[in-house]
Structure 1
Amino acid sequence: MTSDPATSNWLARLKSEWLLLLFAALAVVLALLDPQPAASHRRWLQIPTLAGLLGLLVAIQGIRDSGLVQHAAGALVARVHGLRSLGLLLVGATALLAMVLTNDVSLFLIVPLTLAIGAISNLPVARMAVLEALAVNAGSTLSPIGNPQNLLLWQHSGLPFLRFALAMLPAAAVMFTLVALCTLAWLPKGRVTLAPAQVDGHVVSAPLAAGSVVALVAMVLAMDHGHAVTAALSLVLAFALLARHSLARLDWLLLATFAAIFLGLGHFAELPLVQHGLDRLALGRPLALYAAGIAASQLISNVPATVLLLDHARDNVALAVAVNVGGFGLAIGSLANLIALRLARQPQDWRLFHRVSVPFLLACAPLVYLAWRWLG
């Protein structure tokens, strides 16, 4: 009896999704060992966040399929001739957009552009994806709305927008300086070499491009005003009717992976044993809180780490600095890292990421602490 090829392909792809399988198993094991009401699981699932991710995926897939990204890539590489200059431009744009549009939106815009540039030039895409993951963590650190942990801590602290940003400035400045130096050191020194046959081969679908850009802006605004679920469902319906081919190419397993991470880590962070351990830590001391925020981020990612430590920390800014630094190091340290690697899909991307990000954390952590304590 022969198996269905479509089913075989789906199972083969699922086997490669080790992160999804790992956290799905964690969620199932914890649900069996520590049963909790359905309301807790709904809270851990973070449905508005998942809906926002879905809406962003739909809009960006439409932009990709319209040919707009490929057209922009050709226009950009025609004007920037050095690989390091191009790398710094992309890294700077990633960090700047993360300050204004949040870290995930920045990656959804810049990583597809980087892939398109790599398709028509000699830009090392795998290295750029790693650098952009570092840059988005650095850039989003400065802004109270740059990432979920900052938004939570800013609202919890009650500080004015500019005062919170100024408090984060020393940490963000050190981070971005290190990212820029890493970009200059890691990228080749040569010129951008174009593949002429690929530059002008993309036709832009104006209706799909315009509609997808509007959809992206609308999705960001809807997320900002607390209407992510309604907006995401509306986008899915609109694309199902008008651009079904884009909807079919969506990375649904990425959504499933984030759902499994939210469920597994959310449950883990609220285990009585974990909470009891936190009560025994001297988190009133700045260095202890700093170390705990970084360590927790490496284990359960920086957003759950923020939630875990929030009620035990006396200084919200200190916690914000710690968990933002904790976004470096292991890929799980920040969900933005997972998005960047997933969007890029380069050979041996996980190994390459950790070869750079772990030493980056080891260099960044003491420098940021010193800058924050002296200048903050």
Structure 2
Amino acid sequence: MPSRPNPPTTATLRQRLADEWLLCLFAVLAIALAIFDPQPAGRYRHWLQLPTLAGLTGLLIAIQGIRDSGLVQHAAVAVVARAHSLRSLGLLLVVATALLSMGLTNDVSLFLIVPLTLAIGSVSNLPVLRMVVLEALAVNAGSTLSPIGNPQNLLLWQHSKLPFLHFAAAMLPAAMVMLVLVAGFAWLWLPRERVALNPQRIDGAVTSTRLGTWSMAALLGMVLAMEYGQAPLGAGLLLLSYALLARPSLLRIDWLLLATFAAIFVGLGHFSSLPLVQQALDRLDLDHPLTLYASGIVAAQLISNVPATVLLLERTTDPIALAVAVNVGGFGVAIGSLANLIALRLAKQPQGLRLLHRVSIPFLLVCAPLAYLAWRWLG
């Protein structure tokens, strides 16, 4: 008779809980708030941000298919073969990440670049965790410039009713400060040594051209679905298609990442609506630019920059000032931007959160005053 798998031990369960501490933390917060401050079901549906979760689901499915096809590994070998040094290779990835985030949004950029970075690191001496941290900084900086670069910009652009180029021009001074700081830091932090290949690990063969082509088309379709507000439909079609044609890829998706974001959305959405929080905001003079700027950054550190935008949007008459604040607030603690959490989760590197904070918090302290001065003087 076939042997049954051993049941998980207490130590294994404890390790799983430790690995998913963010999910546990926000699940506890959401449950506690639901017990002590119950709300109608419609409020929870609103906080859950189903279109955003659907978009993330579709992206995870398409990227998993691309990974399973071998296209990422093939691209990694091609990129490394043309690189002369770790610094030039790292700067190429950082610049590509920032540029992609301007048109494809910050999370889509990470879903493309981080798997490529991991594949490059598997065949070379590229410092993977260092690169992932730099890429998290790069998407926050690059997406700041574009009205469609991230969810908070899209919301504020639509609210401001400014033309696309006018919004981008207003964000340009702050975005340039961020991009210059990220590029300069990458130049100083990346090692100068030459790229060293590991021949035993090089396998640039595409294992399934059909899956790769199909998944690339699925990724493009999902981005378009998100752009036109049809993320749930796009995700549903991908789920059905992969369930019928590529079920193993579905099984390898990080479904706990989606559960984590669901817990974060509900927990932070409920928290930001509490009367105590609303009363604290009523005491702030958000018509003063510096007060609004500082409030947006602090709120992003506490509840992430997208919920911070929703929280402050109806309390200010200057959406550009708020946009600059919440984009700068994407630096600092990991929760400041969901892109930080996506980057760390995709990378799954030991000590990732610690290194991100060692870099991103000082980066925020340097960037915040410089971005404010650039926006006030040049905006």
Residues 1:152 and 2:155 are matched in the alignment: yes
Residues 1:52 and 2:35 are matched in the alignment: no
Q: CA deviation at 1:240?
A: 1.1
Residues 1:169 and 2:172 are matched in the alignment: yes
Paired residues, number: 375
1:105-138 per-position Cα deviation (integer Å, ceiling 9, x unaligned) = 0000000000000000000000000000000000
Q: Is the 8 A contact 2:73 2:204 kept in 1?
A: no
Cα distance in 1, alignment partners of residues 10 and 294 from structure 2:
46
Cα distance in 2, alignment partners of residues 63 and 357 from structure 1:
30
Q: CA deviation at 1:308?
A: 0.5
Q: Which residue of 2 aligns with 1:321?
A: 324
Q: CA deviation at 1:12?
A: 4.1
Cα distance in 1, alignment partners of residues 81 and 47 from structure 2:
46
Q: Which residue of 2 aligns with 1:299?
A: 302
- Pick which of 234-243 and 151-160 moved more: 234-243
Q: Which residue of 2 aligns with 1:237?
A: 240
Q: Which residue of 2 aligns with 1:94?
A: 97
Q: Which residue of 2 aligns with 1:367?
A: 370
Q: Which residue of 2 aligns with 1:136?
A: 139
Cα distance in 2, alignment partners of residues 104 and 246 from structure 1:
20
Q: Is the 8 A contact 2:298 2:329 kept in 1?
A: yes
1:205-232 per-position Cα deviation (integer Å, ceiling 9, x unaligned) = 1001001000000101111111111111
Q: CA deviation at 1:314?
A: 1.6
Please list every run of 5 or more consecutive structure 1 residues that lacks an aligned counterpart in the other structure. none
Cα distance in 2, alignment partners of residues 285 and 184 from structure 1:
37
1:196 maps to a residue whose letter is: P
Q: Which residue of 1 aligns with 2:348?
A: 345
- Which of 207, 230, 244 does residue 204 from structure 1 map onto? 207
Please list every run of 5 or more consecutive structure 2 residues that lacks an aligned counterpart in the other structure. none
Cα distance in 2, alignment partners of residues 5 and 317 from structure 1:
51
RMSD: 1.4
Q: CA deviation at 1:200?
A: 3.1
- Which of 262, 267, 277 does residue 265 from structure 2 map onto? 262
- Which of 209, 212, 217 does residue 214 from structure 1 map onto? 217
- SS of 1:234's partner is helix
Q: What is the aligned-residue identity percentage?
A: 72
Cα distance in 2, alignment partners of residues 14 and 213 from structure 1:
34
TM-score normalised by L of structure 2:
0.97
Q: CA deviation at 1:77?
A: 0.6
1:5-42 per-position Cα deviation (integer Å, ceiling 9, x unaligned) = 49985774244201000001110111111110000000
Q: Which residue of 1 aligns with 2:361?
A: 358
Cα distance in 2, alignment partners of residues 264 and 5 from structure 1:
29
TM-score normalised by L of structure 1:
0.97
- SS of 1:275's partner is helix
Q: Is the 8 A contact 1:71 1:204 kept in 2?
A: no
Cα distance in 2, alignment partners of residues 200 and 272 from structure 1:
57
Q: CA deviation at 1:332?
A: 0.3
179 and 8 in structure 1: CA distance in 2 versus 1, 3 angstrom threshold: same
Cα distance in 2, alignment partners of residues 80 and 3 from structure 1:
46
